[in-house]
Structure 1
Amino acid sequence: MLAQFFKRYLYIQLSAQRVTVRDPSKHEVLSEVPEIAIQRPATGKAKVLAVGSAARGTAGEVDTQVFNPFAHPRSLVSDFTVAEQVLKVFVKRAQGDSILQPSPVVIMHPLGQHEGGLTQVELRAIRELALGAGASEVHIWQGPELTDEQVLSGEYPATGSMFIE
């Protein structure tokens, strides 16, 4: 009972064009392009320069590439490691700077047409992305956009499918 009081929920909508992270209890929304600028010098470690819309501004820097890890014609994720880094940053931004944040229950909502539904491999990739971004539990939703009340209550429309991983 007490644990339920401390549960925090995040609702994440994924697409190649935009990642939206919503905190339904605070009614806060973070919506950004899912891009990341990575600098890979000839010697030394790769370094993340910027994530989101700020990544485009670094495109002209030396040894820097801008990636969109969700842009792939046949799959939701084109680069798992980079996608995980993007989600980590967005989840951290949505949670704020508090040190004592509980790991959130994350509801992942992949957007777009998934002909025949998501494969087991795609479901696992989505689950692993959320866990890597700091989720304590992962639910994957396919259907219409959820309201804050639906996310918090756990009562989802019958017109969609929920996969609890």
Structure 2
Amino acid sequence: MFKRLRGLFSNDLSIDLGTANTLIYVRGQGIVLNEPSVVAIRQNGRGQRQIAAVGTEAKRMLGRTPGNIQAIRPLKDGVIADFTVTEKMLQYFIHKVHESRFFRPSPRVLVCVPCGSTQVERRAIRESAAGAGAREVYLIEEPMAAAIGAGLPVEEARGSMVLDIGGGTSEVAVISLNGIVYSESV
């Protein structure tokens, strides 16, 4: 009930959750966030982990942290390697996009996933976004999102080849009639 009410005050988001960078797009505003997919984690004396920094601030810490702080990339090869840290990173980014709002955001979220991702990996992405506060989560394959974003005629009965070069994986796909006919991930 409250999630739906908070949703009235939230923007619908499209998220490219990449190995190197995370981008968030809001309709009518364009790309509103482009930050590194890096999280700095502080470990206290009891072994408990706390988020010290996220995004650009955490990337500045790479290779420069004391022993109790570790800067990590929670995504490997386009999929979640550390579920909890990815959820906290998404939560931070969603809140950052909505920071001028009075209510805690509860947006509908569209997340890009690699074509070769398994059902388990897709479920992890869906649950991570939901845990970060998303009201509804939709998934779309990265090459399809790239084709739509480039304005290619994805609904027509002719093939369009898309090459999506990312920080962790690169994908090539042939798209026709609103579907991916063939894809390969490297």
Sort the TM-score into its range (normalised by shorter chain): 0.7 to 0.9
Could you tell me which runs of 5 or more consecutive residues in structure 2 were left unpaired when the two chains were aligned: 156-174, 180-186
**Which residue of structure 2 lines up, in the alignment, with residue 97 of structure 1?**
100
Separation in 1, partners of 2:46, 2:117: 40
Q: Are 2:94 and 2:105, in contact at CA under 8 Å, matched by a contact in 1?
A: no
Separation in 2, partners of 1:101, 1:23: 17
Q: Which 10-residue stretch deviates more, 77-86 or 138-147?
A: 138-147
| TM superposition score normalised by structure 2 | 0.67
Look up the SS of the partner of 1:66 in the other structure: strand
State the identity %: 30
Asked which structure has the greater RCO (Cα within 8 Å, sep 6+), the reply is 1
Q: 1:85 aligns with which of 71, 88, 91?
A: 88
- CA RMSD across the alignment: 2.8
Tell me the matched-pair count.
146
Q: What letter matches 1:71 in structure 2?
A: K
Could you tell me which runs of 5 or more consecutive residues in structure 1 were left unpaired when the two chains were aligned: 151-155
Q: What letter matches 2:145 in structure 1?
A: P
User: Counterparts in 2 of 1:39-118, with a 5 A limit?
Assistant: 39-43=42-46, 45-58=48-61, 59-72=64-77, 76-100=79-103, 102-111=105-114, 114=115, 117-118=116-117
Q: Which 10-residue stretch deviates more, 133-142 or 35-44?
A: 35-44
**CA separation of 1:100 and 1:25: change in aligned 2, threshold 3 A:** farther
Separation in 1, partners of 2:154, 2:132: 26
Separation in 2, partners of 1:15, 1:28: 14
Separation in 2, partners of 1:90, 1:84: 10
Shift of 1:134: 0.9
**Which residue of structure 1 lines up, in the alignment, with residue 132 of structure 2?**
133
The structure number with the bigger radius of gyration is 2
Q: Which 10-residue stretch deviates more, 118-127 or 56-65?
A: 56-65
| TM superposition score normalised by structure 1 | 0.75
Structure 1 or 2: more strand by fraction: 2
**Which residue of structure 2 lines up, in the alignment, with residue 123 of structure 1?**
122
Check if 1:30 corresponds to 2:23.
no
Q: Are 2:107 and 2:136, in contact at CA under 8 Å, matched by a contact in 1?
A: yes
Separation in 1, partners of 2:26, 2:135: 15
